[in-house]
Amino acid sequence: MNISPDETSFAVFGLGFVLGIRHALDPDHLVAVSTIVSRHKSVVRSSIAGVFWGVGHTASLLICGTSVLALRLRIPDGFVATAERAVAVMLVLLGVNALWRAIRNSRLHVHVHSHEGRRHIHFHAHQAESQGSHDHRHIFEMGLRSLLIGMVHGLAGTGALMILVIAAAPSLLAGSIYILIFGLGSIAGMLILSSAISIPFVVSARFFQTFNSGLQYVTALMSIGLGLFWISSV
């Protein structure tokens, strides 16, 4: 059974789309997106942030990939390590920002109650009243932040390794199409991922304030921890 060039191209591009979705599930992406969506109280806003992340990721790959193909450039040996280090530093900064936001917007109250002659101490964490105003950020600010984070991620990890593979593409057009399809896959994956991750934050923000505060602290510490681990290992 002979396979036509068109069928081969379709299979390759289809694989690129699947790999793009898979790429969105990398650990650093999961942590970074968690810090982004933790500030939103809407699944729609979180989804939009995920889409902007994917657009930035694709734009970064497209610029670098087409430059490699068109100019026959050679990727420096330390490019991937430098890009991953930049992502690690960014994860630490995102985590510190998320931690500061959680501390600033949370208020810990101590309530003392007496039951049957015994005193009980209860701790309650409440969101500050100004928390709601932070969820109404302008769409441009939210999109720009996610876009820049996505662009940095596009230069690192498997995304950066993909650029090396693109260098062997038969033509500039084929390589560019592959990058775009890969990018569409990452956008779709990030849209799904950001929507799913935002659900616990949205639900807990409305009904379980203490749990929501805990989620924000855990997310921030995970981002800081992963970033520091990468910095020490790169």
Per the model's pLDDT, the better-predicted residue between 38 and 7 turns out to be: 38
Residue with the larger pLDDT of the pair 89 and 37: 89
Query: Minimal CA–CA distance to 82: which of 31, 155, 26?
Result: 155
Please tell me the total count of domains within the chain. Answer: 1
Quick check: 34 and 223 in contact, CB under 8 A? yes
Percentage of residues in the chain having pLDDT higher than 90 = 10
Q: What is the mean pLDDT of residues 151-157?
A: 80
Higher pLDDT pick, 221 / 77:
221
**How far is the C-alpha of 148 from the C-alpha of 55, rounded, in Å?**
10
Q: Is the pLDDT of residue 96 over 90?
A: yes
Of the candidates 22, 28, 233, which has an alpha carbon nearest to the alpha carbon of residue 150? Answer: 28
| Domain-embedded: residue 13 | no
Q: How high is the pLDDT of residue 38?
A: 79
Which of 11-15, 43-47, 228-232 is least confident? 11-15
Structural domain contains residue 10? no
Q: What pLDDT is stored for residue 173 in this prediction?
A: 84
In a domain? residue 94: yes
| pLDDT-derived band at 5, boundaries 50, 70, 90 | low
175 vs 58, higher pLDDT: 58
Q: pLDDT-based confidence at 136, cuts 50/70/90?
A: very low
In a domain, residue 188? The reply is yes
pLDDT tens, 30-81? Answer: 888 888 887 777 788 888 888 999 899 889 888 888 887 787 777 776 777 7
pLDDT of residue 62: 86
Domain, as residue range, for 120: 24-129+139-233
Residue 183 lies in a domain: yes
Mean confidence (pLDDT) of the chain: 77
Query: What's the one-letter identity of residue 29?
Result: H
* pTM listed for this prediction: 0.77
Q: Is residue 9 part of a domain?
A: no
Cα 92 to Cα 113: distance, rounded to the nearest angstrom? 40
Decide if 7 is inside a domain.
Answer: no
Q: Which of 70, 128, 82 lies closest to 104 in space, CA to CA?
A: 128
How many C-beta atoms lie closer than 10 Å to residue 221's C-beta?
A: 14
In a domain, 16, yes or no: no
Model confidence over 99-129: pLDDT tens digits? 888 887 765 555 555 655 566 555 555 554 4
Q: How confident is the model at residue 25 (pLDDT cuts 50, 70, 90)?
A: confident
Strand extents, DSSP E, the chain: 106-115, 118-127
